[in-house]
Structure 1
């Protein structure tokens, strides 16, 4: 039974849950309806091209990757296939045409997924970072469950959204600071990020959002689905807790206009600061170029990222930009 006023979650009050809603400690709440209207009718939206010359053929990934190898294939937006330690892990899988509660309206996919559903290797684990429609897609979860029956791992409260659609799925929920063993030698931890959640106008911040840390024989992996930079607080905290990372998957898009998006979406310059703050050897930039959610142009995040890397003296190959279908063989530490 959910706590009165919260349809998803019942739990004790904590430093990030007030008994009804989750919040970012010391952070900023999402802006209200009046500001949404100001943004939507304020102009400044850059049109996206209708044709793309950076599309490549869909990938056909290997069945498994073992040893100390680490490979990440870009599907698109925040959907990545992470192959490490014999595991195949999908993050925030979305194969639907729209990131929306409706099939006829809402942000439409600009490019096809970088891996066809039928070409996926066996999926062991699905990580769902939060419940926004560009990250939690029930139609895709149904398709993955029908074929692979993967373990779905998500912050607390999101199970109440997934379970009715997949009543026989294995769903594991985690609060910030929780850790679980995925297989021998591979552990997963849920950590804070600065964001929020909602599936409608009536459930704002009633399910938790989070970032994930994977500790593996191939090195540590840090995955963030969405976050505001929040003065780098969460980046520094994971470094103090886990040490260095071989790879960080960091969002770089959906950041304009800054007055509206800053608290929830870091920009490319902040993402580079995040790479430095979390002591990652390499990063992959995601959350760009697939669904037009905000004001910047399709390729603006790429140009802004290159500028930020150059200005901060970071080699461009340390922060990878993958087109859908491209894979990154992460160099060994």
Structure 2
């Protein structure tokens, strides 16, 4: 096998590991991360999306990766923003979001510093020598972070749960980790002394006076390797704060808008939603797990978000679309619905979003 084919197939092996194995039936008989009662989204061994779709298996993965339609990315995609130096704290009505990259964001609100799905590693892969590699540096140097109070990990895919980064943050700040069921076992494998709150869909946790975290459904899945598919839960969250409600979603398929409608009904709308809008092609493979820009705009409307910090694009190549296509499609979707583009910001590394405090957002809390 020549060098080019070697890297092609080892790269495919990395993607297969990220994709979670051959089929759902290939998972081990027991659950290696979580043991708990059967529920409407847990069958005693595996988590699932109620009335949803299971992730595709290896044959579909091979069909995708060996097919046509992949648009290459440049080796580098520099952000127009310099690496940020965030404020130490923000207070009052202010809500500030600083983009690190992909799904990693610093959210500063009500005196708290919160990181979502922090990844500072060069690759989002089970291997340090192959797999998706970032094309721009983190928007904040890890040493320039303010003291981190809370680290939110939405699920266990490598582009969202980076054990090396979590280990560094633990040594630096000893933050409070919050994550869905089963992911605590993965985090403790690298950070055994971590303070972790584990949440199920529908759960809530008061993290500070006047600040409540709610764990809510999204349509996704989980895996770290070949034998742990859907053995840890995935989730969206709602932050209820004195400065407004925030709705961070790490990854989700649109799922006919069911979860967006439920979030609006339960929480009454949001000052800010952090929504993924990239990594969506080809649709026949990706639709159950990653919404596209048009669906993200529809989700914004369904959940009644005043503003959106858009993420999951332009840092690591996971799917077929070109590096700037998500933003082009997003602008078309916004313009079609006559939504001002400034309400849905496709965040770039180093970008700082001081979220306006609209009257409607204030009255929602």
Give the TM-score range, shorter chain.
Answer: over 0.9
Q: Do structure 1's residue 296 and structure 2's residue 321 form an aligned pair? A: yes
Q: Compare the two structures and name the one with the higher helix fraction.
A: 2
Helix, strand or coil at the partner of 1:297: coil
In the other structure, the counterpart of 2:77 is: 52
Helix, strand or coil at the partner of 1:143: helix
2:259 to 220, 234, 241: 234
**Deviations 1:160-213 (CA, angstroms, capped at 9, x unpaired):** 101121111101100000000010000000000000000011100000000000
Q: Do structure 1's residue 197 and structure 2's residue 227 form an aligned pair? A: no
In the other structure, the counterpart of 1:151 is: 176
CA distance in 2, matches of 1:268, 1:321: 10
Helix, strand or coil at the partner of 2:207: strand
CA distance in 1, matches of 2:270, 2:45: 34
CA distance in 2, matches of 1:248, 1:56: 22
**Deviations 1:52-85 (CA, angstroms, capped at 9, x unpaired):** 3544210000000001100000000000000000
* TM-score, normalising length: structure 2: 0.90
CA distance in 2, matches of 1:69, 1:51: 33
Unaligned runs of 5+ in 1: none
Helix, strand or coil at the partner of 2:310: strand
Deviation of 1:322 after TM superposition, in Å, equals 1.9
1:164 to 185, 189, 193: 189
CA distance in 1, matches of 2:192, 2:117: 19
In the other structure, the counterpart of 1:30 is: 55
Query: Which range moves more in the overlay, 13-22 or 40-49?
Result: 40-49
**Deviations 1:228-263 (CA, angstroms, capped at 9, x unpaired):** 000000000010000010000000111000000000
Helix, strand or coil at the partner of 2:232: coil
Question: Is the Cα contact below 8 Å between 1:55 and 1:111 reproduced in 2?
Answer: no
Residues 101-250 of structure 1 aligned to structure 2 (within 5 Å): 101-250=126-275
Question: Is the Cα contact below 8 Å between 2:110 and 2:242 reproduced in 1?
Answer: yes
1:89 to 114, 132, 155: 114
Question: Is the Cα contact below 8 Å between 1:155 and 1:208 reproduced in 2?
Answer: yes
In the other structure, the counterpart of 1:321 is: 346
Question: Is the Cα contact below 8 Å between 1:132 and 1:198 reproduced in 2?
Answer: yes
In the other structure, the counterpart of 2:104 is: 79
CA distance in 1, matches of 2:349, 2:260: 27
CA distance in 2, matches of 1:4, 1:28: 21
* TM-score, normalising length: structure 1: 0.98
Change (3 A) 1:108 1:51: closer
CA distance in 2, matches of 1:191, 1:304: 27
Q: How many residues align?
A: 331
CA distance in 1, matches of 2:76, 2:211: 41
In the other structure, the counterpart of 1:251 is: 276
Unaligned runs of 5+ in 2: 1-27, 359-365
Question: Is the Cα contact below 8 Å between 2:85 and 2:144 reproduced in 1?
Answer: yes
